[in-house]
Amino acid sequence: MDLQTTIYIFVGLSFALYIGIAIWARAGSTSEFYAAGGAVGPKLNGMATAADWMSAASFISMAGLIANMGYGGGLFLMGWTGGYVLLAMLLAPYLRKFGKFTVPQFIGDRFYSKTASTVAVICLLTASITYIIGQMTGVGVAFSRFLGVSSDMGIYIGMAIVFAYAVFGGMKGITYTQVAQYIVLILAYTIPAIFISLNLTGNPIPQLGLGGTYSGTDMSLLAKLDQVVVDLGFGKYTTTTAGSTLNMFVYTLSLMIGTAGLPHVIMRFFTVPSVKDARSSAGWALIFIAILYTTAPAVAAMAKLNLHGTVNSAVKTGGDLYAPESSLLNEERPDWMKRWEKTGLLKWEDKNGDGRIQYYNDKTKNEAVKAKADAAGWKGSELTVNADIMVMANPEIALLPNWVIALVAAGGLAAALSTAAGLLMAISAAVSHDLVKGIFAPDISEKNELLAGKISMAVAIVIAGWLGLNPPGFAAGTVALAFGIAASSLFPAIMMGIFSKKMNKEGAIAGMLAGLFVTLFYVFAHKGIFFVKGTDFLGVIGGANSFFGITPEAFGAVGALVNFIVAFIVSKMTTPVPHHIEAMVEAVRVPRGSKMVDGAH
C-alpha cells in the first residue's frame, strides 16, 4: 500500500474515533458541558490532561526547538514540566476545593468583584486566543503535508472536526476524546523514536540511546553530533545556551508560571469528584507527560544527525564536510525533501549553481569554517529547514515504514486538535459562564446557559480558524507569548487569591492590568507593532532586549513581578478585605473534603 493511502486510512480512522466518542459522550447539562459532571476518574483525567497539555508545540515544535538550540533548548523541558508540577502542587487542589468551573469565576468570587472577573476573562481570552493560533497553524501544516491539501483547507477541516466533538460534547466529549488523542499521539511519538534509536545506536530505548554509542563507531551519539555541527560552523550542541544565563533563567521561569496560569489546563481539575482525585490525576498526568518529554531530547538529537547525514554524506563517512562531493546532488535528493518543499517549511536555493545542496552555518565567526567553505566553492548555506519539521519528517528521513509515517501524521493532528479543543472550552466557559451568566444575565436558565455555551464555542471555533488563516505578526512566531500573558496576568492573581488573605479586589485588578500591559508593551515593541503612527516604541524602551538582555518571549516573568508589586502596593492603600472573604480563603486552604461540581456553585 502506498504512503498516501496509508496516511488517509490512519488519519480517517482517528477522526472517526473522535467523532464516535463525541456522539457517545454528549453533554446534557451545564455541569457536563463545563466540567464533565465532575465524574472523571483520576487515571482517565490524567491522560486527558496530558493530551490537553501536550499541544502541537510539544509534539511538533519542541524537539525541533531543542534540535536547533541544542543544550539551551532544555529550557522548554524545564519550564513546561516544572510549571505543570507547580500547577499540580500549589494550585489545582485548592481550585478544585473551591468548587467552581472556571478561573475567572474563582477570581470574581475570591476578590468579591465582577470587575475582577471581567479583567480575568480579558486576560484569559488574550492568552487562549494567542495560544490557539499556533494550534490551528499546526493543523494547517500537518494537513498540507500529509493529506495533500492546502494549509487553508487543512484549517477548515480541523475546524469541522473540533466543532463535531467540542460543541455537542462540551467538556465531557472533549475529555474522553482527549483520552483517545493521548493514546494516538504518544504512540506516534515513541514508536518512530524507538526505530530511530535502534538504527543509530542499537538501543531500542531512546532515552538511553541518547547517551549511547553511535553505530559503527566508538564515539557516543552526542560526541558525534557535536563533531558534525562544529565542523559545519554551528555551536557545540551540548553546550549552546539560549542567550545569557539570566535570560535563560527568566525564560524558564516565564514558561513555568505561565504553564501554571493556563486556564484550559486548570479547568481539567474541575472534572474529578474530589480534591484527593485532583491530586491523584495530577500525578498520573505527570507520568503520561513524562513519557513524551523524556523522549523529546533524544528525538531532537537524532533528527539533527539524520538531517545532516542526508544532506552531507561525510557525516557518516567521517570525511571532509567541505569537499564538493560530500554535498547532495539536487536531482538525487530523497522523496521526503521533495514532499516537504511543497509545504514551504524546507527550501533550497542553489547559490553557486553547482546543482548540489550545501548546508552549513555561513554566519559563523569561525574563520577556518569560512575558509573551508570558500575553498570548496560554496557561496552560502543553501538549505533552510523550519524547526517544525524535525518530528514530522524524522520518520521519512530515517526511511521508516509507511505505517509509522502515517501514525506520526495522526499523532501530530491529535496533539493540535486536543489542545485546540481545551482552549476553545476555556474560551466558551469564560464567555457563557463568566460573562453571560456571571454578569449580563445572572438569572439565565440552565438550558439557555448550555445553549449560550455551545454558541460561544461555535463562534470561538470560527474566530480561531480565521486567526489560523490570518495569523497576526506578533503571535505567529511564538507560542511562548501565550505563556508570558498567562504568567504576567492570571498566575499572580490565582496565587494571591489562594495564599494571601489580605489581598483585596483593588490590588488584584490593578496587578492583572499592570502585568498584562507591561508584557504586551514589551512584546509589541519588539515585534514592530506600534500603537501610535510614526512612533518607534522599540526606541522608547531603549532598543532590542534592553531590559537586562531579556527577550520578549521571556518577559512574562518580569510582568508577573510587576503584577505582584502593583497588587501589594495598591492593596495597602485601599479598603481591607472583608472578614467573610478571609474566612473563605482559610477554608479553601484546609485540606478536608470537597464539594461536588454540580453546576449550582
Per-residue model confidence (pLDDT) at position 314: 75
Mean pLDDT of 54-81: 82
Q: Which residues are CB-neighbours of 326 under 8 A, at least 6 positions away? A: 312, 313, 314, 317, 319, 320
pLDDT band, residue 518 (cuts 50/70/90): very high
Instruction: Compute the mean pLDDT over every residue in the chain, rounded to the nearest whole number.
Output: 85
Per-residue model confidence (pLDDT) at position 509: 97
Instruction: Compare 100 and 500 and report the one with higher pLDDT.
Output: 500
Q: Are strands 346-348 and 328-329 parallel, antiparallel or unpaired?
A: unpaired
Report how far residue 41's alpha carbon sits from residue 253's, in angstroms, rounded to the nearest whole number: 31
Considering Cα of 115, then 589, then 276, then 179, what sign does the dihedral take?
positive
Q: In Å, how far are 92, 146, 560 from 455, measured between CA atoms?
A: 28, 31, 33
Mean pLDDT of 473-486: 66
Angle CA 545–548–493, to nearest 5: 90
Looking at the predicted structure, is the pLDDT value of residue 600 above 70? no
Angle CA 545–493–530, to nearest 5: 35
Q: Which residues are CB-neighbours of 283 under 8 A, at least 6 positions away? A: 42, 46, 88
Among 330-344, 354-368, 497-511, top mean pLDDT goes to 497-511
Report how far residue 416's alpha carbon sits from residue 409's, in angstroms, rounded to the nearest whole number: 11
pLDDT band, residue 593 (cuts 50/70/90): very low
Looking at the predicted structure, is the pLDDT value of residue 478 above 60? no
Which three-class secondary structure state does DSSP give residue 364?
Answer: coil
pLDDT band, residue 243 (cuts 50/70/90): low
pTM for the complete prediction? 0.85
Q: Which of 428, 410, 429 is nearest to 418 (CA)?
A: 410
Q: Which residues pair with 346 in a beta bridge?
A: 385
pLDDT band, residue 39 (cuts 50/70/90): confident
Mean pLDDT of 422-438: 87
Per-residue model confidence (pLDDT) at position 433: 86
Instruction: Compare 155 and 524 and report the one with higher pLDDT.
Output: 155
Angle CA 453–112–87, to nearest 5: 65
Left (φ > 0), alpha (ψ -120 to 50) or beta: where does 125 sit? alpha
Report how far residue 520's alpha carbon sits from residue 556's, in angstroms, rounded to the nearest whole number: 9
Looking at the predicted structure, is the pLDDT value of residue 596 above 50? no
Range from 144-148, 434-438, 510-514 carrying the lowest mean pLDDT: 144-148
Q: What is the largest CA-CA distance in the chain?
A: 79
Report how far residue 67's alpha carbon sits from residue 57's, in angstroms, rounded to the nearest whole number: 14
Structure-block grid coordinates of residue 580? 467573610
User: Secondary structure of the chain: what % helix, strand, coil (to 5)?
Assistant: 70, 0, 25
Looking at the predicted structure, is the pLDDT value of residue 502 above 80? yes
Report how far residue 360's alpha carbon sits from residue 369's, in angstroms, rounded to the nearest whole number: 9
Structure-block grid coordinates of residue 90? 500549589
Per-residue model confidence (pLDDT) at position 368: 87
CB 78 within 8 A of CB 252: yes
Mean pLDDT of 321-346: 82
Mean pLDDT of 204-208: 95
Mean pLDDT of 558-573: 97
Q: Which of 303, 241, 295, 258 is nearest to 74 (CA)?
A: 241
pLDDT band, residue 201 (cuts 50/70/90): very high
Tens of pLDDT along 5-23?
998 899 899 988 988 887 8
Report how far residue 417's alpha carbon sits from residue 248's, in angstroms, rounded to the nearest whole number: 30
List, in sequence order, the alpha helices (H) in 377-478. 389-397, 402-429, 446-469, 473-476
Q: Which residues pair with 383 in a beta bridge?
A: 348
- Centre a 10 Å sphere on the Cβ of residue 221 and count the other Cβ atoms it contains: 23
Mean pLDDT of 238-260: 84
Tens of pLDDT along 135-187?
777 777 777 777 777 778 888 888 888 887 788 788 888 899 999 999 999 99
Report how far residue 152's alpha carbon sits from residue 137's, in angstroms, rounded to the nearest whole number: 9
CB 461 within 8 A of CB 453: no
Rounded percentage of the chain residues whose pLDDT exceeds 90: 30
Q: Which long-range contacts does 454-457 make (Cβ < 8 Å, 24+ apart)?
A: 454/33, 454/167, 454/168, 454/170, 454/428, 456/427, 456/428, 456/431, 456/432, 457/166, 457/167, 457/170, 457/424, 457/425, 457/427, 457/428
Mean pLDDT of 268-296: 89
Range from 53-57, 215-219, 273-277 carrying the lowest mean pLDDT: 53-57
Q: In Å, how far are 120, 225, 285 from 452, measured between CA atoms?
A: 20, 54, 31
Report how far residue 480's alpha carbon sits from residue 467's, in angstroms, rounded to the nearest whole number: 17
pLDDT band, residue 601 (cuts 50/70/90): very low
Looking at the predicted structure, is the pLDDT value of residue 558 above 90? yes
Residues in the chain: 601
Rounded percentage of the chain residues whose pLDDT exceeds 70: 92
Per-residue model confidence (pLDDT) at position 473: 52
Mean pLDDT of 400-415: 88
Report how far residue 467's alpha carbon sits from residue 118's, in angstroms, rounded to the nearest whole number: 23
Among 235-249, 507-521, 531-545, top mean pLDDT goes to 507-521
Structure-block grid coordinates of residue 46? 490524567
Mean pLDDT of 351-372: 88
Structure-block grid coordinates of residue 341? 518543499
Mean pLDDT of 513-540: 69
Give the residue carrying C-alpha cell 522599540: 538
Mean pLDDT of 489-494: 96
Report how far residue 587's alpha carbon sits from residue 36's, in angstroms, rounded to the nearest whole number: 25
pLDDT band, residue 546 (cuts 50/70/90): low
Q: Which residues are CB-neighbours of 176 under 8 A, at least 6 positions away? A: 21, 24, 25, 44, 48, 169
* H or E, element range at 531: none
Q: What does the DSSP 8-state code read for residue 553? A: G
CB 443 within 8 A of CB 43: no
Q: What does the DSSP 8-state code read for residue 328? A: E
Per-residue model confidence (pLDDT) at position 594: 42
Range from 3-12, 45-54, 461-470, 567-576 carrying the lowest mean pLDDT: 461-470
Which three-class secondary structure state does DSSP give residue 1?
Answer: coil
Q: What does the DSSP 8-state code read for residue 90? A: I
Report how far residue 303's alpha carbon sits from residue 379's, in angstroms, rounded to the nearest whole number: 26
Q: Are strands 346-348 and 383-385 parallel, antiparallel or unpaired?
A: antiparallel
Instruction: Compare 92 and 514 and report the one with higher pLDDT.
Output: 514
Instruction: Compare 436 and 471 and report the one with higher pLDDT.
Output: 436
